[in-house]
Amino acid sequence: MSYRIPSSRLVRPITSLTSITIPIRLLPHHARRYATKNENILMERWLQNRGEMPNQKDLQQAAKENLQRGQLHQNSIFIDAERGYAADEGDIVDEEIRPMRNEYKASSPVALSAEDAAIQALTKDGERDVDLLRRRLDMDPETRFKAEYRRTVKMMRRGWTITREQHIKRSERQVRMKSPWLKTSTKKLGLIARQLQGKTVDEALLQLRFSKKRTAGEVARHLEHTRDMAVVKWGMGLGQVEGTAGEPMNIRVNNGTKLGRKKLITDRTEIFVESATVGRGPMQKEPEFRARGKTNILKHRWSCIIFVLKEEISRIRQHEDKMRLAAQKKPRIPLPDKPIPQQRQYVLW
């Protein structure tokens, strides 16, 4: 039994095959990502190799050749570079261009500062518009006045002194930075966070370098980024450079015990990890199909770590406060003297 094919199908040109759509499941894996419902990647490549279809590089080259360039204005500051002349005053410049450039420089406005530009933008016909200035620079003057009045009264009642918390924030520096989401759980990341608390940045990076945890590398990169931001943006850890390291000092650092552990501080501006906390992030659920129609739900958790970096001067202040409170405390008497309740202080047997 033979299969009959119409003659119109046999003489059909090959270019008409471009409309044939091959199912995506029949394409190789490297071609599936570029394939859509209305495209045939294999047929296009075959036609490009035969020369019947223009290539993308040829189209880009033709577009560059047909590109039309515009011309600069005669008073433009780039007119010298466009015509091939020198830009400096000491170089040889065409006699027709030099007067034109000098006239442009004389008529060009002088560069204004940011404050002068803001004031000039808020003026109208050379005079300041008071209403416009008030709306731009002071959005709600009544609320601002009330807030300043309350703060002034509060400072007067306190005797024009600042609180202890305000003094600490003014005299000590700290950096708090949150990491991006890490593909791990808070339970696993908390083990790393507890290992880094109380250590200097160098000691913490050394612990992360030899750690077997999978996310130790990402935590180390975030800690390095936090340290760099503390040095560059807030000027922390520059005691050796600026000469403010101070003299060596022995203190006791809190490690969960009553007395604490001893520590020798050679640089008061050395950066250490004050706290490392863990935050819970989003959770992705994925089904896991098992036998007999059962399905388990896999939970992929994300979390982050938050570092708070401070300088050693903060621990010195905490040590001095602890020593001062211990000195002010009264001595403990194990068996204090008690008053005699009766006439005889000894028992009569």
Higher pLDDT, 48 or 16: 48
CA separation, residue 146 to residues 140, 141, 149, 200 (Å): 10, 9, 5, 45
Rounded Cα distance between 248 and 266, Å, is 4
* Alpha helices by DSSP H, 262-328: 312-328
Q: How confident is the model at residue 158 (pLDDT cuts 50, 70, 90)?
A: confident
Domains and CATH numbers, the chain: 11-62 (no CATH), 119-161 (no CATH), 173-328 (3.90.470.10)
Mean pLDDT of 339-344: 69
Per residue, the 3-state secondary structure of 241-263, as one string, reads: HHCCCCCCEEEEECCCCCCCEEE
Q: How confident is the model at residue 93 (pLDDT cuts 50, 70, 90)?
A: very low
Least confident range from 58-67, 140-149, 236-245, 312-321: namely: 58-67
Grouping H, G, I as helix, E, B as strand and the rest as coil, residue 47 is: helix
Neighbours of 80 (CB within 10 A): 19
**Residue 10 pairs with which residues in a beta bridge?**
none
Report yes or no: 247 and 223 within 8 Å, Cβ to Cβ: no
Report yes or no: 194 and 219 within 8 Å, Cβ to Cβ: no
- Is 90 exceeded by the pLDDT of residue 281? yes
The token pair at 207 is 């612990």
CA separation, residue 273 to residues 34, 169, 181, 218 (Å): 48, 17, 20, 17
Question: Residue 124: phi, psi to the nearest 5?
Answer: -140, 115
Higher pLDDT, 66 or 2: 66
pLDDT in tens, 183-218: 999 999 999 999 999 999 999 999 999 999 999 999
Q: pTM for the complete prediction? A: 0.55
- Is 60 exceeded by the pLDDT of residue 331? yes
Per residue, the 3-state secondary structure of 80-122, as one string, reads: HHHHCCCCCCCCCCCCCHHHHHHHHHHHCCCCCCHHHHHHHHC
CA separation, residue 33 to residues 17, 27, 28 (Å): 22, 10, 10
- What is the reported pLDDT for 178? 96
- What is the reported pLDDT for 150? 92
**Which amino acid is located at 124 in the chain?**
K
Mean pLDDT, the chain, rounded, equals 77
- What is the reported pLDDT for 88? 46
pLDDT in tens, 290-330: 999 999 999 999 999 999 999 999 999 999 999 999 899 88
Grouping H, G, I as helix, E, B as strand and the rest as coil, residue 42 is: helix
Half-sphere exposure of 231 (CA within 13 A, CB side): 16
Name 252's Cβ contacts closer than 8 Å, sequence gap at least 6: 259, 260, 261, 262, 263, 319, 322
- Is 90 exceeded by the pLDDT of residue 136? no
- What is the reported pLDDT for 186? 96
- What is the reported pLDDT for 319? 92
Rounded Cα distance between 265 and 317, Å, is 13
Rounded Cα distance between 130 and 108, Å, is 29
Closest CA to 52 of 13, 8, 9, 12: 13
pLDDT in tens, 1-28: 555 555 555 544 444 444 455 566 666 6
Residues in the chain: 349
Q: How confident is the model at residue 269 (pLDDT cuts 50, 70, 90)?
A: very high
- What is the reported pLDDT for 90? 44
- Is 80 exceeded by the pLDDT of residue 249? yes
Question: Residue 314: phi, psi to the nearest 5?
Answer: -70, -40
